Chain A
Amino acid sequence: GAVVSQHPSWVICKSGTSVKIECRSLDFQATTMFWYRQFPKQSLMLMATSNEGSKATYEQGVEKDKFLINHASLTLSTLTVTSAHPEDSSFYICSTPPQGWDNEQFFGPGTRLTVL
């Protein structure tokens, strides 16, 4: 299956700073990547879909100016949390779109963001 990496795996930052999370597809070219957020004991919530060469598509309720998504190339999608606040502390995960006959998604290992 597809291999997806994320960097960093965890980050601690001060309130008001911006944090960039990278999502790389290591063995395939990704025209689309999905970004999820998971709060403790909650489900994975789809935040947005990044599209190579065009603007990201955001889910309802997700602030596009706060969560900047850039799909710079066919192997790199980035999520920047701007002016982070403690309530943005969460686990952020990227994934491929559903693939194959069973619509399987391949997820990155996730990034744990803690905003102090």
Chain B
Amino acid sequence: DQQVKQNSPSLSVQEGRISILNCDYTNSMFDYFLWYKKYPAEGPTFLISISSIKDKNEDGRFTVFLNKSAKHLSLHIVPSQPGDSAVYFCSLPSKLTFGKGITLSVRP
């Protein structure tokens, strides 16, 4: 029973362009949704979150959109930078559930 799905395992974008990372969830009973970023051989670090009562939260180059009717989250990074290359996980606070992650590669 996978509560969080990140169906695209990888994404490659050109530096300066927009990166869009998607996440679908199956259970609507959450107050918050979170995105984490993880570099190889390191623990994840918190990136950005969104309350379930909002449909958008912006923090610098990072914006998370929430479509509750579609049970869909997306993380937008613009402009993308090579240092953004990492694995991105969407997370649900209940049962501390993480998606499989999306490997983002930003080409110089």
The answer to whether A102 and B49 touch across the interface, beta carbons within 8 angstroms, is: yes
In the complex, which residue of chain B has the Cβ closest to the Cβ of A98?
A: B93
- Output the nearest chain A residue to B30 by Cβ-Cβ distance: A103
Question: Known contacts being A34-B96, A102-B32, is A107 close to B49, with CB within 8 Å?
Answer: no
B53 contacts A by Cβ under 8 Å: no
What is the minimal beta-carbon distance from A10 to any residue of chain B, in angstroms? 8
Instruction: Please give the distance in Å from A107's CB to the nearest CB on chain B.
Output: 3
- 10 A-B pairs, CB-CB below 8 angstroms? A1-B46, A43-B99, A98-B96, A103-B31, A103-B32, A103-B49, A105-B46, A108-B43, A109-B43, A110-B41
B53 CB to nearest chain A CB (Å): 12
Indicate if the CB atoms of B45 and A107 lie closer than 8 Å.
Answer: yes
Which B positions have Cβ atoms within 8 angstroms of A? 4, 9, 31-32, 34, 36, 41-46, 49, 51, 89, 91, 93, 95-101
Contact yes or no, B43 A104, CB < 8 A: no
Cβ distance A111 to chain B, nearest Cβ, rounded Å: 10
The answer to whether A102 and B34 touch (CB under 8 A), given A34-B96, A46-B96, is yes
* A interface residue count range (under 10 / 10 to 19 / 20 to 34 / 35 or more): 20 to 34
A103/B41 contact (C-beta < 8 A), A43-B98, A43-B99, A43-B101 known: no
